[in-house]
């Protein structure tokens, strides 16, 4: 039976693809769980339109992501937080604080999961922060300054 996948199904195919599966698999699993619909002429035409729209949206998103990574590499991101007399932070700086500072200082809206810190930053100074999303990756500097 030919079906159009509404979601990515491991081992079968990706969203909006037309695939051939056994009748039992389609009728007992894929269609009842709303993972697929029967591949009629109208449904195939609709799925191909959605697939083209998804690809163009993904392409625009990737271009915007590249632009944001380049902007961050050139920007000066500063986070001010309380420190003790040895220069250690009272509260560690993690991904949420970095996202907020990037938006404030560089005007870049990053998803929090794009920041790939091994551990939170706990000292004053300039720190390199790795970022990655999909196939794109980069680094930018965050300056941690102490305040009393």
61 pLDDT more than 80: no
The CA-based angle 122-126-132, given to 5 degrees, is 85
Q: CA angle, corner 77, sides to 76 and 79, nearest 5?
A: 140
Q: What is the CA radius of gyration of the chain?
A: 23
Q: What angle do CA 46, 59, 113 make, to 5 degrees?
A: 110
In this prediction, residues 60-74 reach a mean pLDDT of 82
pLDDT of 148 higher than 80:
no
Tally: H helices and E strands in the chain: 3, 8
pLDDT tens for residues 8-40? 999 999 888 899 999 999 999 999 999 999 998
CB atoms within 10 A of CB 104: 12
What are the structural domains of the chain?
2-59 (3.40.5.10), 66-147 (3.10.430.100)
* Confidence (pTM): 0.61
Sheet holding 136-147, edge to edge: 77-82, 136-147, 125-133
Q: 111: helix, coil or strand? A: coil
């Amino acid at each position: 039976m030919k079906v159009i996948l509404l979601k990515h199904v491991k081992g079968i195919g990706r969203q909006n693809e037309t695939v051939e599966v056994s009748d039992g698999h389609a009728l007992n699993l894929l269609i009842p769980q709303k993972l697929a619909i029967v591949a009629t002429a109208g449904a195939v035409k609709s799925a191909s339109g959605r697939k083209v729209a998804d690809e163009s949206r993904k392409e625009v998103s990737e271009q915007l992501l590249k632009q944001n990574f380049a902007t961050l590499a050139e920007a000066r991101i500063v986070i001010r937080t309380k420190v003790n007399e040895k220069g250690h932070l009272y509260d560690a700086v993690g991904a949420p604080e970095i996202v907020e500072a990037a938006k404030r200082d560089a005007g870049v809206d990053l998803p929090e999961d794009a920041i790939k810190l091994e551990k939170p930053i706990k000292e004053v100074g300039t720190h390199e922060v790795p970022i990655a999303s999909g196939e794109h990756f980069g680094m930018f500097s965050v300056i941690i300054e102490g305040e009393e």
